[in-house]
Amino acid sequence: MSGSDTSSSLERLGWSDFFAAQVEPGEAHLAPRRVASVHRARLEAIDANGPVGLELAANANTADFAVGDWVLADPLTDMLVRRLERKTLLQRHSEIRNGLQLAAANVDTLFIATSCNADFNPARLERYLIMAHQAGTRPVIVLTKADTAADADDYRRRAEALQRDLPVVVLNARSADAIETLKPWLGAGQTVALVGSSGVGKSTLVNTLAGSASETAQKTGTIREHDAQGRHTTTARSLHAIAGGGWVIDTPGIRTLYVSDVTDGIDTLFGDISELSEQCRFRDCTHVHEPGCAVQAAVASGQLDADRLGRWRTLIEESRSRTPVETGPRGNKVVRRKKY
Ligand SMILES: Nc1nc2c(ncn2[C@@H]2O[C@H](COP(=O)(O)OP(=O)(O)OP(=O)(O)O)[C@@H](O)[C@H]2O)c(=O)[nH]1
Ligand SMILES: [Zn+2]
């Protein structure tokens, strides 16, 4: 295969100049591969031709890798040489590894799914939006079950009010029309991931996007293996091809994610409040009781929704209190204090 053929097929996998620029001259003989699933003791990968082996060094820890990662491997031995720097990284909280677990890497767009019914919850959507900003991915609100709602446009308006210039789409996850609606984010080489509560239609949407061919692939990708305790565990490949050339990452690990220490994401989401607070008289204004508070003035004039300010405050406080927790010498929790 000629060099240019290789790179164009790699681009269909999400490879870009960002990754190519990281390959050192001495690494030209190595093969870029993308991590398709992460298991306790091994990784699965794909390259332009499909599934491909990936051998790990004895001291490697699979928890250091995320679905979507790009790695360089020796094409003769399949040995993983190194991981390339990530463009974006979604992490989730866990009890182990200092409370953070890698969920998905190099995701361009995060589809935040909720349905046009009682699942719709601005506070929860704000958390997902913060997570997207924090990870460096572009969020899109995907309102499912439009076919069952009396007034789907009302949900659309409420979602659009969450953040300036926020893309919001309304669809029926079971209809092939959803592919057309989501097309702007599903181009060749684009990677999307889905988050949202149980039952909002994430699996349905993945199946619609991936089509029946890949549904079979998902089933056949399911494998049984022994974990460290010798138990059988069932795992599935997590990176699925979408008609049109994009990729969707669907792993249980990223379906629900939590917020902590996410000040930058909060500032992006609540850009209106951040801007207003620059006009407050006091630089450290808490927008509760201070004179000359531009944020309170905006609430009083009806320019800013008081509920929105309340949700902002809850998130700021939660972000502050959930700064990384370390375990002390006797197993007691030690809280590392961080700014904000
Ligand atoms: N009418 C209608 N039904 C939908 C739509 N999206 C999903 N459903 C149905 O809602 C139910 C739940 O959908 P799932 O795709 O399993 O939801 P999920 O988000 O994957 O749920 P978890 O796997 O628990 O996270 C299924 O019966 C779907 O057929 C939609 O847009 N319209
Ligand atoms: Zn203020």
> Residue 27 sits in a domain of what CATH number?
2.40.50.140
Residue nearest to atom 9 of ligand 1 (CA): 201
Atom of ligand 1 at shortest range from CA of 173: 31
Instruction: Identify residues whose C-beta is under 5 A from ligand 2, the ion.
Output: 280, 285, 287, 293, 295
User: Is 280 part of any known ligand binding site?
Assistant: yes
User: Is 94 part of any known ligand binding site?
Assistant: no
Point out the ligand nearest to the CA of residue 114.
1
CA of 323 to the centre of ligand 2 (A): 24
Instruction: Choose the final residue of a domain: 223, 255, 287.
Output: 255
Query: Based on the domain organization, do 249 and 275 belong to the same domain?
Result: no
Range of the domain at 203: 104-255
Among 78, 328, 113, CA closest to 208: 113
Point out the ligand nearest to the CA of residue 171.
1
pTM of the model: 0.75
Atom of ligand 1 at shortest range from CA of 255: 25
Query: Based on the domain organization, do 110 and 199 belong to the same domain?
Result: yes
Query: Based on the domain organization, do 239 and 331 belong to the same domain?
Result: no
pLDDT 10s digit of each residue in the chain, 340 long?
A: 444 555 578 999 999 999 999 999 999 999 999 999 998 889 999 998 889 989 999 889 998 999 999 999 999 999 999 999 999 998 876 655 566 778 899 999 999 999 999 889 888 898 889 888 888 999 999 999 999 999 999 999 999 999 999 999 999 999 999 999 999 999 999 999 998 888 899 889 988 988 744 444 444 334 334 444 444 444 456 888 887 789 998 876 566 555 555 666 788 889 899 899 999 998 888 899 889 999 999 999 999 999 999 999 988 887 776 554 443 333 334 444 433 3
| Domain-located, residue 94 | no
Tell which phi-psi region holds residue 294, choosing left (phi > 0), alpha (psi between -120 and 50) or beta: alpha
Could you identify the residue written with the tokens 């990662």? Answer: 69
Atom of ligand 1 at shortest range from CA of 171: 31
Residues with CB under 6 A from ligand 1: 144-145, 147-148, 172-174, 196, 198-204, 255
293 phi/psi in degrees, rounded to 5:
-85, 115
CA of 126 to the centre of ligand 2 (A): 21
Query: Based on the domain organization, do 246 and 111 belong to the same domain?
Result: yes
Query: Based on the domain organization, do 162 and 285 belong to the same domain?
Result: no
135/130 Cα distance (integer angstroms)? 8
Helix locations, the chain, DSSP H: 3-12, 17-20, 122-135, 152-160, 177-182, 202-220, 252-255, 263-269, 271-277, 294-300, 306-321
Residue nearest to atom 8 of ligand 1 (CA): 201
Query: Based on the domain organization, do 127 and 209 belong to the same domain?
Result: yes
Instruction: Choose the final residue of a domain: 217, 238, 255.
Output: 255
| Domain-located, residue 153 | yes
3-state secondary structure of 195: strand
| Domain-located, residue 66 | yes
Rounded to 10 deg, the angle between the 306-321 and 122-135 helix axes is: 50
CA of 136 to the centre of ligand 2 (A): 28
| Domain-located, residue 98 | no
250/195 Cα distance (integer angstroms)? 9
Tell which phi-psi region holds residue 136, choosing left (phi > 0), alpha (psi between -120 and 50) or beta: left
278/210 Cα distance (integer angstroms)? 46
Query: Based on the domain organization, do 290 and 250 belong to the same domain?
Result: no
| Domain-located, residue 170 | yes
Query: Based on the domain organization, do 114 and 70 belong to the same domain?
Result: no
In the chain, the amino acid numbered 258 is Y
> Residue 298 sits in a domain of what CATH number?
1.10.40.50
Query: Based on the domain organization, do 130 and 233 belong to the same domain?
Result: yes
Instruction: Choose the final residue of a domain: 255, 273, 302.
Output: 255
Ligand 1 pocket test: pick from 170, 200, 218 the residue with the most ligand atoms within 8 Å of its Cβ: 200
User: What six digits make up the tokens of 161?
Assistant: 């009010």
Query: Based on the domain organization, do 189 and 134 belong to the same domain?
Result: yes
| Domain-located, residue 24 | yes
Residue nearest to atom 29 of ligand 1 (CA): 204
Alpha-carbon torsion (18, 22, 25, 27), positive or negative: negative
Ligand 1 pocket test: pick from 204, 240, 248 the residue with the most ligand atoms within 8 Å of its Cβ: 204
Q: How many CB atoms lie within 10 A of CB 245?
A: 15
Query: Based on the domain organization, do 139 and 210 belong to the same domain?
Result: yes
Question: What is the ipTM score, two decimals?
Answer: 0.93
Q: How many domains does the chain have?
A: 3
> Residue 110 sits in a domain of what CATH number?
3.40.50.300
| Domain-located, residue 92 | no
Query: Based on the domain organization, do 115 and 217 belong to the same domain?
Result: yes
